[in-house]
Structure 1
């Protein structure tokens, strides 16, 4: 598995890097949220733009991203618009989704951009390539809030993301049983052994919480933790996450 360095953060080995999402609905809320998040010392910042009440206003989105970048100069910034179909806050037309990703990438307003490659499958490979040519790192993602695919299907999805040229390969699932969690972990280990790209996987909710803390063992290189509030079920508070990951690292040494 390769290591990707963005700003001064090396992602892909050692302790999983902690990414804290910003989920404020207004500019004022996000500004206040950033103050709280800074206290946790995150490795990366994700802006969940689908929470933003003015997300349909491109200029407002770009202005907000500029403010986020100004406040987190040392941290890689991940731009995400999670669609309603994959567990996000808002519906968006595919053409508007693509336009948004291209615009923030072209303006150099984000380090990493999240692309839901199976939600927009018709031209996903071309979109990934175009965004990379604009100079951003592409995180391919797929989210299953209704259940957990088989180990084979998870592994195949991660393989496809890699074949389509994504820099990071991310999949999130919702477990119904303990066996579902094991399927996600087994698929992660399998792809870690075969993939050239960093992998990010998680099993959501209370049942899947184990998957968020064992990435150093399984090969999941980023874990998402809650700052002011969580952006997905099962996220652990960032300060608690840091302690747990450090303790696990000491045990594994």
Structure 2
């Protein structure tokens, strides 16, 4: 199901961990990558201080691993958090290039020494699990993973992949794909919400960021969060601090409403900081996320569930939003740009508004009055009769021009392309 309306129902199935005060059981895992065992244990301590639930020990990042038993025992016994051991080979996106039997033997040894989880790749999982002859420690759960660094397959293909992973005897299914478009993530959510087994489903890249946050809503077993910017084990991993403090990850539930800022680019926007803090202060069950959108119509059609309740809209989509909404406020229609989209819960219809002109014009009026440049015009606006120059004829420019004209200013538009600002406006 790669196109058309994707109706996402909220799920409640997920991983363990967390106290009764949490609204979801999805775990936060910190990938630990370092040259030495001692450095890894320092980072484990940092992960615990950051309120992570477990750590992924990436053995393939160790500069020296000549004493597997000693090093693994030190990592297991020295870790203050539950441990997931991964020894990722180059052919699956990792760093290891050595002998396969030694790699898999290290994972078996980690199980024997008390690891809580080990991650083994689908390509070798059947033989690996079969070689355990049913004698694996009951404490250790086996995650069988598949990584696609090219794209996100269809729902049907993802479903087949889940079945193949389950057939190996996996305790937990993990699938990581790549987002070519933000709508790709919807397919992962569909698999996640209907999964009958513990499922980790993540979509890599900036367009897949919502998979790492909203997995808590749709029933994912765990997500990954990093300790410092840029130090990632896969593209698009957010900071643990952002998961907890920005997105209020622990409070996301199946009933959480999703909002976000639609744009391209969008990662620089501070809107999530403002709205998520407001939601928290008001006790509102919502989360506000960055949405890197290439095709607005496709995005709105795909995420058509009432769960996706409203959006802010920024460049380059404000003008396209007028055409994508079912109804548009008369002021927004006059401006020719929408920066706020609200979905009506009763029928799913989209309503478009423009608040740019109110916020910007009010701020300019207040600035003029504070500087003593305000006039006592009949209109009551310090802009009345003044020359108002707008540089640019995009959505924000249209809103400013409209607002200034309504306040009685003489408006002049400066833009690179004459035809982008219709004469009637």
TM-score, normalisation: structure 1? 0.82
Distance 1:17 1:133, change over 3 A: closer
Give the C-alpha shift of residue 209 in structure 1.
Answer: 0.5
Q: Partners in 2 of 1:216 and 1:90 — Cα distance?
A: 31
Quote the RMSD (CA, aligned, Å): 2.8
Distance 1:212 1:127, change over 3 A: farther
Q: Partners in 2 of 1:221 and 1:122 — Cα distance?
A: 22
Q: Partners in 2 of 1:4 and 1:16 — Cα distance?
A: 5
List per-residue Cα deviations over 1:86-131 (Å, max 9, x = no partner). Answer: 111122333222222222223x2311111112x2266255147646
Match of 1:67 in 2: 74
Q: Partners in 1 of 2:139 and 2:41 — Cα distance?
A: 27
Match of 2:374 in 1: none
State the number of aligned residues.
Answer: 240
SS of residue in 1 equivalent to 2:179: coil
Match of 1:226 in 2: 226
Distance 1:248 1:76, change over 3 A: same
2:151 to 139, 147, 154: 147
Q: Partners in 2 of 1:248 and 1:144 — Cα distance?
A: 27
Match of 1:198 in 2: 198
Q: Residue 145 of structure 1 contacts residue 174 of structure 1 at CA under 8 Å; is this kept in 2?
A: yes
Match of 1:94 in 2: 100
Structure 1 runs (4+) deviating above 4 angstroms are 1-6, 127-131
Deviates more, 1:13-22 or 1:216-225: 13-22
Deviates more, 1:136-145 or 1:21-30: 21-30
Q: Partners in 2 of 1:173 and 1:131 — Cα distance?
A: 32
Give the C-alpha shift of residue 146 in structure 1.
Answer: 2.2
Q: Residue 165 of structure 2 contacts residue 173 of structure 2 at CA under 8 Å; is this kept in 1?
A: yes
Higher RCO, 1 or 2 (CA under 8 Å, sep at least 6)?
A: 1
2:180 to 172, 176, 180: 176
SS of residue in 2 equivalent to 1:207: helix
Unaligned runs of 5+ in 2: 1-11, 257-284, 286-425
Q: Partners in 1 of 2:133 and 2:253 — Cα distance?
A: 35
Larger proportion of helix: 1
Q: Residue 204 of structure 2 contacts residue 235 of structure 2 at CA under 8 Å; is this kept in 1?
A: yes
Q: Partners in 1 of 2:153 and 2:85 — Cα distance?
A: 26
Distance 1:250 1:98, change over 3 A: closer
SS of residue in 2 equivalent to 1:70: helix
Match of 1:109 in 2: 114
List per-residue Cα deviations over 1:49-84 (Å, max 9, x = no partner). Answer: 0111123x2x2x3333333333434x3210101111
Deviates more, 1:215-224 or 1:198-207: 215-224
Give the C-alpha shift of residue 238 in structure 1.
Answer: 0.6
List per-residue Cα deviations over 1:173-229 (Å, max 9, x = no partner). Answer: 111122322222222223x2xx2x211010011110000011132221200110243
SS of residue in 1 equivalent to 2:120: strand
Q: Partners in 1 of 2:132 and 2:154 — Cα distance?
A: 26
Distance 1:122 1:169, change over 3 A: closer
Give the C-alpha shift of residue 143 in structure 1.
Answer: 0.9
Residue 63 (structure 2) pairs with residue 53 (structure 1) = yes
Q: Which has the larger radius of gyration?
A: 2
Q: Residue 225 of structure 2 contacts residue 240 of structure 2 at CA under 8 Å; is this kept in 1?
A: yes
Q: Partners in 2 of 1:189 and 1:232 — Cα distance?
A: 23
Give the C-alpha shift of residue 237 in structure 1.
Answer: 0.7
Distance 1:154 1:226, change over 3 A: same
Q: Partners in 2 of 1:9 and 1:64 — Cα distance?
A: 32
Distance 1:3 1:18, change over 3 A: closer
